[in-house]
Structure 1
Amino acid sequence: MNKLSKLQRPKIIGTLEKLEDVVSEIYNENSLSNKIIENVVISGLEDIRVSFDKCVFKNVTFEYCDLTKVDMMDVIFENCNLANIPFSKGSIYRTEFTKCKITGTRFDECLMKNVLFESCVGKYVNLAYTKFDGVNIIESEFLSAVFQEVEIKKMVFENTNLSNAIFYNSKLNGIDLSTCNIEDIQLGINDISGANVSVVQALDLTRLMNIKIK
């Protein structure tokens, strides 16, 4: 088992206010703070830059929303549907995504620090050009995810399906991939240099050197 990065958890203290009319609150305040949002659909957010601070989202579906340049700090998403939502160019700190659907979600060009993805479905999730400083991705499905040209300071993958994921121009030195499925992972020799892999994975990665083992 990989040694997970010790992350700072979302700092949520005291009782959160339950919020029903989320869209109106966001358009009026450009932010949500100290709120809990449960069992709702949030639809049609666009042409707005929003911040979430000390918020919990449970069983929430986001649809037809554009959350580009979002600022998030101390936020929990639990069992939420965030599929195809753009969080591009956002700042995401002390945030947890647990049992969330993030298929096709865009986190490209984000700053992520102390972020957890656990038991998430993230096929085609786009994390290109993102900077990771303390990010754990565990027990998740990240098939065909895009990690192209990312900057990694601290990051852990554990028991995650990364098959066909794209890591071109992303240095994985010191990253342990041994518990993950990396079948058909797309990267270069320089990208994988210094990574920790299993024996079986190492044999598969010989294709990068264009050699055949008899």
Structure 2
Amino acid sequence: MKEAYISDQSFDAINFGQSPLEKGEYENCIFSNCNFEYADLSEFRFTDCEFIGCNMSMAKLVSTAFRDVYFKDSKMFGLQFNDCNEFGLSFRFEGCSLNNSTFYKTSLKKTSFKNSKLIEVDFEACDLSNAFFMNCDLSGAIFENTNLEKVDFRSSFNYTINPESNRLKKAKFSLSEVHGLLYKLDIEIERNS
């Protein structure tokens, strides 16, 4: 059975949980306000696509290819990005909720996360070098054996990062959130009034 190749199309307010998206390759497509919750997107290929205001929570991503994909204002709970096809994997997130998602051992070099909730996201053993976290909530996010070289955390908050078990060379942090680096030392930091 030949897989579909769809390009330059817009999909608006479609519930792909009820009527599944045709398996294949999607290039330069826009998905607006679509529901992919629990959808099986295994082995789909998305190139230069945008997902705006979509619910992708718990979608299955085994060997899914995301190449230059933009996610905006989307609900993306519990996604296993570590199952994706690694070849050419690149995406950026703005205004998204990625709570409880996993990027374990994924290469996320230069990935941009803006105004997003990344609560309890697993970044263990990832390469996040040169990534950018702008105004992101990183409560409970896991950074362990993670390459965080040249990562910009200056406007993000609620992170806890152990400098002993992560690579932090030239990473950028704000003074107001420095306690997220020093928590392991069990010291008290007092703010001047």
Task: Calculate the aligned-residue CA RMSD, in Å.
Answer: 2.5
- The structure 2 residue matched to 1:90, chosen from 39, 61, 64, is 64
Higher helix share: 1
Give the corresponding residue for 2:141.
165
C-alpha contact 1:113 1:135 (8 A) present in aligned 2: no
Displacement after TM superposition at 1:212 (Å): 1.8
CA distance 1:196–1:88, change in 2 (3 Å): farther
Q: Distance in 1 between matches of 2:125 and 2:154?
A: 21
Q: Distance in 2 between matches of 1:126 and 1:179?
A: 22
Higher strand share: 1
Q: Distance in 1 between matches of 2:107 and 2:117?
A: 20
Displacement after TM superposition at 1:179 (Å): 0.7
Q: Distance in 1 between matches of 2:11 and 2:23?
A: 19
Superposed CA deviations along residues 75-95 of structure 1, whole A, max 9, x for unmatched, are 011111101112244332121
TM-score, normalisation: structure 2: 0.83
Output aligned runs, 1:104-183, within 5 Å.
Answer: 104-110=78-84, 111=86, 113-183=89-159
Superposed CA deviations along residues 88-131 of structure 1, whole A, max 9, x for unmatched, are 44332121101111011221144365522000111112111211
In structure 2, stretches of 5+ residues that fail to align are none
Answer yes or no: is 1:189 the counterpart of 2:160: no
Q: Distance in 2 between matches of 1:103 and 1:161?
A: 14
Displacement after TM superposition at 1:202 (Å): 2.0
Structure with more contact order per residue of length (Cα contacts < 8 Å, sep ≥ 6): 1
C-alpha contact 2:128 2:149 (8 A) present in aligned 1: no
Aligned-pair identity in percent equals: 21
CA distance 1:94–1:163, change in 2 (3 Å): same
| 1:90 partner amino acid | T
Superposed CA deviations along residues 169-204 of structure 1, whole A, max 9, x for unmatched, are 111111111210134x35452315322212232234
Displacement after TM superposition at 1:31 (Å): 4.2
Q: Distance in 1 between matches of 2:6 and 2:31?
A: 11
Displacement after TM superposition at 1:53 (Å): 1.4
Q: Distance in 1 between matches of 2:10 and 2:28?
A: 9
Which SS does the other structure have where 2:49 is aligned?
strand
Q: Distance in 2 between matches of 1:31 and 1:153?
A: 33
- Count of aligned positions: 185
